[in-house]
Amino acid sequence: MKLFLYNLILILLTPIFGFRIFYKSLYDKDYRSNFLQRFGISKQTYNFASDKKIIWFHAVSLGEVIGSQNIIKILTNEANIILTVTTPTGLRKAKELYKDHDIHISYAAWDFYLFVLNFINKNQPDLIIIFETEVWPSMINIAFSKDIPVIMSNGRMSEESYNSYKRFSFFTEEAFRKLTLVLAQSSSHESRFKDLGVKSQSLKVSGSVKYDLEPLKSVESPHIQTFINNKFVLASSTHSGEDEIILKAFIEVSRYMPTLKLVIVPRHPDRAEEISKIAAKKNISACIESKDININSSIMIIDSIGKTSLLYENAAAAFVGGSLVKRGGHNIIEPAFLECPIIIGPYMFNFESIAEEFLKTGSCRSVYDYKSLAKEFINILDDKKSTLSMTQSATMLISKNSGASAQQLSAIIHELNGVNK
C-alpha cells in the first residue's frame, strides 16, 4: 500500500517533472537527446561480456561521479558496469572519465515503479550499488522482490538529509530496511542510517573513499596559465548567493594587496555571465575564460570543467563553495591533496565528518561572512608559517584516513561473488 501511494504521488507529479526536463532540454543537448531515458526507455543495446555479472551503479551528480571513480574502474575488471546519473554535468564527466573503459552510461529513470521495472528487466543487473545517499523506494523494492542485492557505497547521511527522510519515513523506512549493505563513512552516519531503518547487521563503517582520490589531471589552458602567473586567490564550486559575498571580500583584500587576482569557478559553468554582471555592478573588471582573457582584469571566471587541479596547485588560498549558502559544501580533499590552503563556510553538512576532521586538526579555516573571509585570505597571505602548518596537517590527515576504497571494494566483491548468475 505504501509503495502504491508513493507511486500515485509520482504519477500526479509526472507532468511537472516532464515539463521541467522539457524546459531544460531546450537549452541542454544532453537532456534533449536522452529525454526518454528518464522514463526507463533507452535505444541503446548493451553488449555485455557473457562471463561477467552485471552491476548497476548509480552516482547522482558530478561530485558522486568523481568520488566513485576508483571503485568503478576496479569493478570493471570484475563485472559489466551500467553507470546511471541524474544531472547533465554528471553525465558529461562520466563520459569523459570512462571514454577508454567499457562502461555503459545513461540517465537514471525516475523512481516510478514501471520506469524502474522496465530498466531492470531490460538490463538484468545482478547487483545494484548506490553511491552515497540516494534512496529510492521503487528501485529498492523491485530489487528486493527479484533478490538483487542493493549496496550503498560511501554511505553519507547528513543531518539535513536525515531530517528530510525522517519526514517521509512512511514511504522510505521499508526501503532503508531492505538495503543489503550500507558502507557508512563514519559512526555518526551509521547511527542515522540505523535510525532510518537500516538493519544493524547491514551496517559497516568503512570511511570515505574520497580520501583515496588523487586529483584529476587538469586540461591544459595557456590562457588560464597566463592569467594565474600573477598571485591569486581562488573561489571554487560557488553557488548563487555566494558570489556577492566573495566579491565583497575581494574588495577588502584588494585594499591590502592591490595586485592580487581572483579566479571564480562556479559549480554550474552557465552562471559565468551572471557573476560577471555582479562584478560589473561593483566596478570590478572581470573576464570570462571562454571569451578573450584580459590579463589586466582583476577577476577571471571559469566557465568550463576540468580546470580546478591546475588552479588549486597555483592558488595562494582557496575558498571552497556551497558552504556560505545552505548547499552542504563540496570536496575539500582535492585542494588539500594539492597543498592549497583551504577556507570553508559554515554549511558543510554534505561533508560533515570530513569538515569536522579538517577543522579539528587545523587543516582548514572556517568563515561566515565577507569580513571573516577577507580576514582569512589576508591571514593566509601574510602568515606563511601558519599556512604551511595548515597544509601539512591536511596532508597528514589524508594519509591517516586513506584505505576506504579497498575496504569497500572487498565488501562489494564479496557480495557480488555470492550472487548466483
pLDDT tens-digit series, residues 99-110: 888 899 999 988
Domain boundary among 206, 234, 249: 206
The pLDDT of residue 57 is: 98
CATH for 75: 3.40.50.11720
Among 206, 239, 269, which residue terminates a domain? 206
Shared-domain flag, residues 281 and 392: yes
Interatomic CA distance for residues 381 and 369, integer angstroms: 18
Phi/psi of residue 53, nearest 5 degrees = -75, 170
- Give the per-residue pLDDT at 4: 86
Q: Which of 12-16, 314-318, 330-334 has the lowest mean pLDDT?
A: 12-16
* Percentage of the chain lying above the pLDDT 70 cut: 96
83 pLDDT higher than 70: yes
Same domain for 291 and 164, yes or no, is no
Q: What is the pLDDT of residues 150-204, one digit of tens each?
A: 999 999 999 889 999 999 999 999 999 999 999 999 999 999 999 999 999 999 9
Q: What angle do CA 331, 350, 85 make, to 5 degrees?
A: 80
Cα 106 to Cα 34, 36, 38, 52: the distances in Å are 8, 10, 9, 20
Task: Give the mean pLDDT of the chain.
Answer: 91
Task: Answer yes or no: are the C-beta atoms of 401 and 357 closer than 8 Å.
Answer: yes
Q: How confident is the model at residue 219 (pLDDT cuts 50, 70, 90)?
A: low
- Is 421 domain-assigned? no
The closest of 164, 103, 91 to 134, measured between CA atoms, is 164
**Three-class SS state of 367:** coil
Residues 56 and 185 in one domain: yes
Can you give the CATH number for the domain in which 284 is found?
3.40.50.2000
Asked if residue 367 belongs to a domain, the reply is yes
Q: Do 228 and 337 reside in the same domain of the chain?
A: yes
If asked whether residues 167 and 277 sit together in one domain, one would say no
**Which backbone phi and psi does 352 adopt, to 5 degrees?**
-55, -55
Residue 201 lies in a domain: yes
Per residue in 1-46, pLDDT (tens digit) is 788 888 888 888 877 776 776 677 676 766 666 777 877 777 777 7
Look at residue 160 and tell me if it is in a domain. yes
Inside any domain, residue 67: yes
| pLDDT score recorded for residue 125 | 95
Residue 407 lies in a domain: no
For the segment 63-81, the average pLDDT, to the nearest whole number, is 93
Euclidean distance between CA atoms 102 and 324, whole angstroms: 39
Structural domain count, the chain: 2
Same domain, residue pair 128 and 70: yes
Distance CA 159, CA 405 (A): 24
Work out the pLDDT band at 88, boundaries 50, 70, 90.
Answer: confident
H/E run at residue 415: helix 404-417
Q: Is 357 within the bounds of a domain?
A: yes
Q: Are residues 197 and 227 in the same domain?
A: no
- DSSP 3-state assignment of 33? helix
Range of the domain at 79: 26-39+50-206
Neighbouring CB atoms inside 10 A of 15's CB total 9
Residue 214 has pLDDT above 90, yes or no: no
Of the candidates 41, 31, 176, which has an alpha carbon nearest to the alpha carbon of residue 117? 41
Asked if residue 193 and residue 272 are part of one domain, the reply reads no
* pLDDT, tens digit, 9 for 90 and up, residues 371-397: 999 999 999 999 999 999 999 999 999
The answer to whether the CB of 337 falls within 8 A of the CB of 214 is yes
Residue 308 in contact with residue 266, Cβ under 8 Å? no
Query: Mean pLDDT over residues 255-260, rounded?
Result: 94
Sheet containing 261-266: which strands, arranged edge to edge? 286-288, 299-301, 261-266, 232-238, 318-320, 342-344, 365-366
Q: Is residue 315 part of a domain?
A: yes
328 shares a domain with 179 = no
Give the percent of the chain with pLDDT over 90: 71
Same domain, 283 and 200: no
pLDDT at 306: 81
Q: Pick from 61, 56, 143, 39: which is nearest to 103 by CA? A: 56
Same domain membership, residue 232 and residue 99: no
As a whole number of angstroms, the distance between CA 146 and CA 119 comes to 13
Nearest 5°: phi and psi at 400? -65, -35
Chosen domain end from 206, 233, 260: 206
Residues 32 and 172 in one domain: yes
Task: Let me know how many helices (H) and strands (E) the chain has, helices first.
Answer: 19, 14
